[in-house]
A and B are shown apart, each in its own frame.
Chain A
């Protein structure tokens, strides 16, 4: 069966050093992770400050939602094509994945801050905390699980999408998928898909553990982001991530 053959292909030690005269799994994995890592770091550098600003002040939220949704609609393949036609290699590549990673983290950051009970913040203000103290000592710790949830989404998407760069001659796990496609080798291709998927899920798992640890004691830990409880109020939530008229 295809899936079993693909697992065997991955477990074949020789494929870790060389695959069809090209970089093997080890090298492609390292390159894939490196691009992803740099992209995640830049994503955090862009999205966190903006998200925290919006969440803390409540200003600029509508604009952020619009920008995040437009970013969401930009096809990565297209953007890579455009940028790589103009320049070659690393910097534009990373830029594309930053664009991909920003919306979820941005949303996680401001949604995290907004999810905090206003009375908690009023209390902090009443005991004389400065705005900076409120942000870093009250809001940030309380919002940490949701912020990390956003980071998880960003990372997952970046890792899954970095495979695209192989179409443009840059190393990534996508080489196995494209090479398999070109050679009609479905085993290699499935192996490539499994590698990307497993890598993404593994990294996601690590971040999920961090997310759990990040929940301050005394605060309900919830059960991860997937079990987001919804307000029990008889109010029909408006619920559009994309505002009307966009």
Chain B
């Protein structure tokens, strides 16, 4: 415990570094996945191609991806952008599926009646489909957020600092307190992000109060979701 108290500044700075690695993939992953998911919900061919690609993408071991990204992009090996790109790929792989399910959950009857009321295609998307898809989209982002935060720790294996540095350093020094510190910090960051996302959801979707978990959400839960410290 004394060690932790002596190193609060280190915990804090690594936490910020870690957050810096995680926010871009979570945000960009969402932005990229929404149109892709929408497309997948409209075309079964697109759906099967995108979801299969996503499935394969998240089977690639994370560390291999982190090391191969600089080779492919021609970036310096210690550039944190490598980790960001790798995390982004995983984020999109998960999020496209959620987005596709989200838009598919908007009932055809609802779309038809909106069209009948004279909504143009863009209006239909922004004012009907997106809001109705919102809850499932949010669910997807929350999963992406948790897994990205957990996954970013492997950056430490390739010399890019993150909360995972506590794991590699603690392991090398045979120091359980340090690894546990990293572990707890990751969990706390994940929980804070989840609270923020939940809050955002309530703010943006005030109509979506407590309701029983729908079957689509139940299915989303049982979908393969890349988790945690993917190598």
Contact with A along B18-54 (1 / 0, CB 8 A): 0000000000000000000000000000011001100
Q: How far is the CB of A156 from chain B (nearest CB, A)?
A: 6
Cβ of B168 < 8 Å from any Cβ of A?
yes
Select the residue from A65, A77, A181, A204 with max chain B CB neighbours within 10 A.
A77
Identify which of residues 119-177 in chain A touch chain B, using a CB-to-CB cut-off of 8 Å: 146, 149-150, 152-153, 156-157, 160-161, 163-164, 167-168, 174, 177
**B74 CB, nearest partner CB in chain A, Å:** 13
On whether the beta carbons of B213 and A75 are closer than 8 Å, the reply is no
B61 beta carbon closer than 8 Å to chain A? yes
User: Considering the complex, which residues of chain B in the window 53-88 have a beta carbon less than 8 Å from any beta carbon of chain A?
Assistant: 55-56, 58-61, 63-65, 67-68, 71
Q: Fill in one digit per residue for A54-82: 1 if any B CB lies within 8 Å of its CB, else 0.
A: 00000000000100111111111111111
Q: Which residues of chain A from 189 to 232 have any CB-CB distance to chain B below 8 Å in the complex? A: 189-190, 192-193, 196-197, 200-201, 204, 225-232
- Alpha-carbon gap, A228 to B217, bound state (A): 11
Contact A111 to B108, CB < 8 A, known contacts A163-B231, A230-B215: no
Let me know if B59 and A156 touch, CB within 8 A.
yes
Residue B122 is within 8 A (CB to CB) of chain A in the complex:
no
Q: Who on chain B is nearest to A159 by CB? A: B59
Q: Which 6 A-B pairs have the closest CB atoms?
A: A76-B229, A237-B214, A193-B64, A153-B224, A239-B217, A77-B229
- Shortest distance in angstroms between A191's beta carbon and chain B's nearest beta carbon? 10
Q: Are B107 and A72 in contact (CB under 8 A)?
A: no
**Chain B residues in 8 Å Cβ range of A192:** 61, 64
Among A180, A197, A201, max chain B CB count under 10 A is at: A197
Rounded to whole Å, the gap between the CB of A210 and the closest CB of chain B is 15
Q: Which of B60, B186, B212, B231 contacts A164 (CB 8 A)?
A: B231
Q: List 24 A-B contacts (CB under 8 A).
A: A72-B227, A75-B150, A75-B167, A77-B153, A78-B186, A85-B171, A100-B227, A104-B222, A107-B218, A108-B222, A111-B222, A150-B222, A164-B231, A177-B63, A190-B68, A196-B64, A225-B222, A226-B48, A226-B55, A228-B219, A232-B108, A235-B214, A238-B214, A241-B217
The answer to whether B228 touches A100, judged by C-beta atoms less than 8 angstroms apart, is yes
Binding site for B on A (CB under 8 A): 2, 65, 68-82, 84-86, 100, 103-104, 107-108, 110-112, 114-115, 146, 149-150, 152-153, 156-157, 160-161, 163-164, 167-168, 174, 177-178, 180-181, 186, 189-190, 192-193, 196-197, 200-201, 204, 225-242, 244-246
Expressed in whole angstroms, the Cα–Cα distance for A84 and B71 within the complex equals: 32
Q: List the A side residues contacting B218 at CB < 8 Å.
A: 107, 110-111, 114-115
Which B residues are in CB contact (< 8 Å) with A231? 105, 214-216
Q: Which residues in B have their C-beta under 8 angstroms from that of A71?
A: 227-228
Structural contact, A74 and B216, CB atoms closer than 8 A: no
Option from B61, B194, B202, B222 in Cβ contact (under 8 Å) with A246: B194
**Among the interface residues B58, B132, B217, B231, which one has the most CB atoms of the partner chain A within 10 A?**
B231
Residues of chain A lying within 8 A (CB to CB) of residue B110? 234
Cβ–Cβ contact A181 & B158, under 8 A: yes
B109–A85 touching, CB < 8 Å: no
Give the complex CA separation of A164 and B222 in angstroms. Answer: 24
Chain A CB within 10 Å — which of B97, B138, B224, B227 has the most? B227
* Complex Cα gap A128–B133 (Å): 42
A85 touches B215 (CB 8 A): no
Asked whether B157 is an interface residue with its Cβ less than 8 Å from the other chain, the reply is yes
A76:B230 contact, CB within 8 angstroms:
yes
A52 to chain B, nearest CB (A): 14
Interface contact B143-A75, CB-CB below 8 Å? no
Using known A-B contacts A70-B187, A238-B208, determine if residue A82 contacts B179 with beta carbons closer than 8 Å.
yes
Binary CB contact string for chain B from 177 to 209 against chain A (1 if under 8 A, 0 otherwise): 001101100110011001100100110000110
